[in-house]
């Protein structure tokens, strides 16, 4: 029996460029990148050298703080380049992919016959343990910890998000296997959240061994953090794990086929995408591999993920480990003379009804990255609370982060949020405050001082 939760607060951003539900291309990558920057708090240890041969599933990195946590190559090939930044910080391990893919054979395993310890070891050995994200803080799950519960969101209302039914609807068997396996790692069960608007139309409602919930409401109703807040809020000293539907499918493939297989359908979206649709590829593929979806890369922003919370990787960048969406936007770097004196903007969207977009609620807009103004005084208002469906005081939390006041950060909810949960607050912010960066800095402080 499902638990139905209705959220009124939030905002669906009407951006154009939704991917048509067809797969236009199967990408045979030239080079893929394993990026330590995809994982919060990771101090990477390099396990390979340039010129080394690797298979899909060969470890290329380890966590220096917990060296049994491995990060594997998504493809077979040759280590082409190790990219470092300032102070020799490891940024990427680039692998030139083989035309014919080969995998490390981890062996087919029957989950029902495995113990929790055997499942844990299988995930660690294969390099799939980093798929499990621990809250608070959104770090890689600690293998020594038994979480209060595990949470999965089976839908997203983020701008132009990939359709889970199209991308993963044919992988129910693998997802069920992963659920059966992960269920042995916690006593609190697996909380599985679906979109109430499409509950009977999704194949995921037939999954077993889960505690089913349905959520109805605008974005961010599909965010795992929002769902946790309404199902079982995180208190000080508690730990929960989250895992995406995408990673559940990969975990299930590991047990059912014995292979580390991260292949996925990727939605290429955005106002600047030409005939947006899906491609089939791997995490770490280059933006060059989808060049047919855009013309000149000049004055374009390439985002691994969605427009609110994704990472700008550039035309030479690579898809992130957790992402199955690319968003292509036009850089909003044009100066608008006397823009403040133009209240009638029929081609632009306003969440506050400043313009007349509210008269055409079904219209989609060709949005760009223009901020339409610069940073202003950070004043107390109710704008954030209108789009944040969580019982928190977002302005107080943000100011506590700025002041580096740990006691107040705990009081106002730092344990419950990640950047994605307050991304809409940043979008509607009249002061143009970089809210997600403030939360990032706050979490970094908590990791430094409390862990």
- pLDDT for 128-171, tens place per residue? 999 999 999 999 999 999 999 999 999 999 999 999 999 999 99
Round the average pLDDT of the chain to a whole number and report it.
94
Q: What is the pTM of this model?
A: 0.95
Share of the chain above pLDDT 70, in %: 97
Mean pLDDT of 59-67: 96
With a pLDDT cut of 90, the percent of the chain lying above it is 88
Q: What is residue 441's predicted lDDT score, i.e. its pLDDT?
A: 97
Q: What is the mean pLDDT of residues 271-295?
A: 96
pLDDT digits (tens, 9 = 90+) for 19-34: 999 999 999 999 999 9
Whether the per-residue pLDDT at 337 is higher than 70: the answer is no
Please tell me the predicted confidence (pLDDT) of residue 2: 52
The domain ranges of the chain are: 264-345, 384-450
Q: What is the pLDDT of residues 419-440, one digit of tens each?
A: 999 999 999 998 999 999 999 9
CATH of 264-345, one of 1.10.357, 3.10.20, 3.30.70, 2.30.30: 3.10.20
Q: What pLDDT, in 10s, does the model give residues 173-226?
A: 999 999 999 999 999 999 999 999 999 889 999 999 999 999 999 999 999 999
Q: Is the pLDDT of residue 246 over 50?
A: yes
Is-cis flag, bond preceding 146, omega within 30?
no
What are the tokens at 222? 């599909």
């Amino acid at each position: 029996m499902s638990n139905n939760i209705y959220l009124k607060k939030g905002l669906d951003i009407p951006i154009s460029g939704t991917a048509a539900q067809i797969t236009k291309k199967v990408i045979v990558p030239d080079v893929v990148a394993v990026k330590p920057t995809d994982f919060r708090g990771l101090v990477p240890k390099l396990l390979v050298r340039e010129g080394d041969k690797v298979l899909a599933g060969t470890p290329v990195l380890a966590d220096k703080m917990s060296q049994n946590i491995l990060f594997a190559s998504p493809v077979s090939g040759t280590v082409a380049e190790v990219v470092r930044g300032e102070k020799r910080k490891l940024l990427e391990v680039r692998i030139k992919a083989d035309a014919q893919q080969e995998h490390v054979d981890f062996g087919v395993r029957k989950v029902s016959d495995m113990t929790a310890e055997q499942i844990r070891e299988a995930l660690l050995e294969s390099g799939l343990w980093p798929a499990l994200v621990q809250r608070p803080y959104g770090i890689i799950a600690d293998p020594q910890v038994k979480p209060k519960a595990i949470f999965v969101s089976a839908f997203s209302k983020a701008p132009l998000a990939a359709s889970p039914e199209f991308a993963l609807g044919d992988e129910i068997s693998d997802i069920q296997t992963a659920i059966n396996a992960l269920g042995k790692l916690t006593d609190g069960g697996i909380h599985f959240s679906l979109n109430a608007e499409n509950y009977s139309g999704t194949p995921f409602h037939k999954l077993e061994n889960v505690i089913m919930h349905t959520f109805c409401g605008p974005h961010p109703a599909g965010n795992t953090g929002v769902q946790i807040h309404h199902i079982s809020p995180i208190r000080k000293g508690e730990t929960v794990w989250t895992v995406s539907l995408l990673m559940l499918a990969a975990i299930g493939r590991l047990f059912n086929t014995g292979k580390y297989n991260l292949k996925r359908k990727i939605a290429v979206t955005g106002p600047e995408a030409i005939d947006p649709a899906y491609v089939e590829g791997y995490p770490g593929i280059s933006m060059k591999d989808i060049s047919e979806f855009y013309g000149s890369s000049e004055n374009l922003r390439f985002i691994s993920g969605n427009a609110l919370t994704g990472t700008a990787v550039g035309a030479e960048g690579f898809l992130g480990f957790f992402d199955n969406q690319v968003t292509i936007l036009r850089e909003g770097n044009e100066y608008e003379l006397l823009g403040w004196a133009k209240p009638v903007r029929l081609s632009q969207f306003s969440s506050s009804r400043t313009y007349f977009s509210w008269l055409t609620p079904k219209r989609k807009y060709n949005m760009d990255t223009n901020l339409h103004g610069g940073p202003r005084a950070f004043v107390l208002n109710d704008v954030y609370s209108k789009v944040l469906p969580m019982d928190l005081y977002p302005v107080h939390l943000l100011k506590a982060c700025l002041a580096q006041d740990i006691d107040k950060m705990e009081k106002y909810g730092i344990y419950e949020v990640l950047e994605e949960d307050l991304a809409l607050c940043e979008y509607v912010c009249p002061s143009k405050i970089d809210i997600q960066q403030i939360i990032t800095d706050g979490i970094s402080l908590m990791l430094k001082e409390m862990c």
